[in-house]
Amino acid sequence: MRIGTLELWLYMPWVHSLKEKRMVVKSLCAKLRNQFNVSVAEVEEQDTHQTAVFGIACVAEDTRQIDSILDNILTFIESNTEGEITKIQREIL
Residue ranges of the chain with pLDDT lower than 70?
Answer: none
Pairing outcome for strands 2-11 and 84-92: antiparallel
Q: What is the pLDDT of residue 33?
A: 96
pTM: 0.90
Residue 70: exposure state from Cβ atoms within 10 A (0-12, 13-18, ≥19): buried
Which domains does the chain possess? Answer: 2-92 (3.30.70.1120)
Q: Give the model confidence (pLDDT) of 52-77 as tens digits.
A: 999 999 999 999 999 999 999 999 99
